[in-house]
Structure 1
Amino acid sequence: MKTISALSIFIITFFALQVSAQETILTDINYGQLEKYVQLAKENYPRAKIVRAQMESVRLAIPMANVSYLDIFTASYFYRPEKNQDAINPTNPYSVNGFQFGINVNLGSVLMKPFQVKKAKADYKVAKLQTLDQDMFITTETKRRYYLYIQTASQLKISTQTAQDNKNISETSRHRFEKGEITLDNYNISRMLVSSSNTNKIQAEVNYLVAKDALEEMIGQKLTDVK
């Protein structure tokens, strides 16, 4: 009577796993699609929007600082009716009827304004560097999440195939056990392999969904909506 030993079942399963594990994910990477994801992340990622808005706010501070040079000067006027006479000294030669205009200069503002303009320009330069830094982070993080998504998709594919292979082995073992060709121990081993591979498959499914959600969070869209 021909029998299949526990060691034989293990070896068959081991080599099935090895063949699957040797597959590469490099061929699954779509660099054109990855670039789309990076661009979408730069447009939709909330932190990127905040940094761009902050940079725009700082940029507008430069012309505002330049225009504020006018704050240095304060214009004023005084109106004295023609018929109004100096109550104290009607012959006062410095008393002038009609409109009188004057301009005051704030010396503190004169000294401060150049530094305010310089600070506004420096703040804008910092804001641009922060935007550049944010773009670099978004690019790197989007790629990382995309690669993780591809990895988990590949692992799910392998786990699904392994679970199916082990199920087939278990079915074959059951038929042979019913015919008395293998022992109960050998049949039970095949059943344990099925249970283990199904558990791994479920974990792979969870990992895939988590990676998919993380990538969609980054790009601000469902992957199925990206053309």
Structure 2
Amino acid sequence: MKKLTILILFIISTTALHAQESFITEVSYPFLDKLIATAKQNYPEVKIRQAQTNAAKAALTQSKVMWLDAFTASYIYSPRSSFNLSNPTFFNGYQISISVNLGSLLSKPFATRSAKEAVNVAQYQQQQYNLTVEATVKRLYFTYLEAQADLRNRARAVVDGEIAVKQLKYTFQKGESSFHDYNEALTSLYNQSSFKVQSELAMLTAKANLEEILGTKLEEVK
């Protein structure tokens, strides 16, 4: 009877320690898409990338308008009733003149091309960071689910350990098991309780890391 009891307890302990619950069935890809969308909407670095793209587009628009800087318009007015002996003019009334700065005019295509490339660079950087955000959210989400599954395993191991301790305590009091066996069961229960605490910390840390990039509480993502 003693050997049978110890064998049963060994099987229970081994199962609790080594049976790992898969979290694959817990993965929800529609919910994961919501998490990614939330991160892109709230995470400050994403907003910075968008602002840089908008600034590059504004600079491009400005460079196109600055083509007019190469042209300078002016006018003079000569009254019909006056005659200037030092600087005689043959035309009376308003006279308009337009001057062109060739150096400025020739430099404008290069400035516009540079502004277009700046827009492309900003857009590529934004696209690259969006991919980084997606990969990061996926990794943190999977880590969080894995931590939850591990915590459930550890919680069951503690329950099994408590059952084993109660059984050994009962058989020990009846003289059917030794104090050594009872003490080992207590030690195992203590270890499993410690592992559970570590798993709780890992789960909370994984949740905090995920919420950091989401910019909101996980429970608020619907």
Question: Normalised by the size of structure 1, how large is the TM-score?
Answer: 0.88
User: What does the per-residue CA deviation read over 1:90-127, in whole Å, with 9 as the maximum and x for residues that have no partner?
Assistant: 36434877655432211111111000111111111111
Match of 2:16 in 1: 16
Q: Counterpart of 1:74 in 2: which secondary structure?
A: strand
Question: Normalised by the size of structure 2, how large is the TM-score?
Answer: 0.90
In 1, the alpha carbon distance for the partners of 2:144 and 2:17 equals: 21
Q: Counterpart of 2:104 in 1: which secondary structure?
A: helix
Match of 1:70 in 2: 68
Structure 2: runs of 5 or more not aligned: none
Q: Counterpart of 2:74 in 1: which secondary structure?
A: strand
Match of 1:151 among 146, 154, 158: 146
In 1, the alpha carbon distance for the partners of 2:99 and 2:24 equals: 73
Matched, 1:118 2:113: yes
Matched, 1:191 2:178: no
Pair 1:185–1:7, CA change in 2 (3 A): farther
Q: Counterpart of 1:103 in 2: which secondary structure?
A: strand
In 1, the alpha carbon distance for the partners of 2:15 and 2:153 equals: 13
In 2, the alpha carbon distance for the partners of 1:91 and 1:128 equals: 61
Matched, 1:173 2:168: yes
Matched, 1:39 2:37: yes
In 2, the alpha carbon distance for the partners of 1:93 and 1:45 equals: 70
Name the stretch that deviates more: 126-135 or 69-78: 69-78
Give the % identical residues: 36
In 2, the alpha carbon distance for the partners of 1:126 and 1:43 equals: 21
RMSD (Å), alpha carbons: 2.3
Q: Counterpart of 1:55 in 2: which secondary structure?
A: helix
Pair 1:196–1:91, CA change in 2 (3 A): closer
In 1, the alpha carbon distance for the partners of 2:148 and 2:25 equals: 13
Query: Does the Cα contact within 8 Å between 2:168 and 2:182 map onto a contact in 1?
Result: yes
Aligned residue pairs total 222
Match of 1:128 in 2: 123
In 1, the alpha carbon distance for the partners of 2:23 and 2:115 equals: 49
Please give the residue correspondences for 1:83-122 in structure 2 after superposition, counting only pairs within 5 Å.
Answer: 86=84, 90=85, 92-94=87-89, 99-122=94-117
Match of 2:54 in 1: 56
In 2, the alpha carbon distance for the partners of 1:47 and 1:67 equals: 31
In 2, the alpha carbon distance for the partners of 1:185 and 1:91 equals: 125
Query: Does the Cα contact within 8 Å between 1:149 and 1:212 map onto a contact in 2?
Result: yes
Structure 1: runs of 5 or more not aligned: none
Query: Does the Cα contact within 8 Å between 1:159 and 1:201 map onto a contact in 2?
Result: yes
Q: Counterpart of 1:24 in 2: which secondary structure?
A: coil
Match of 1:28 in 2: 26
State the AA in 1 paired with 2:62.
M
State the AA in 2 paired with 1:210.
T
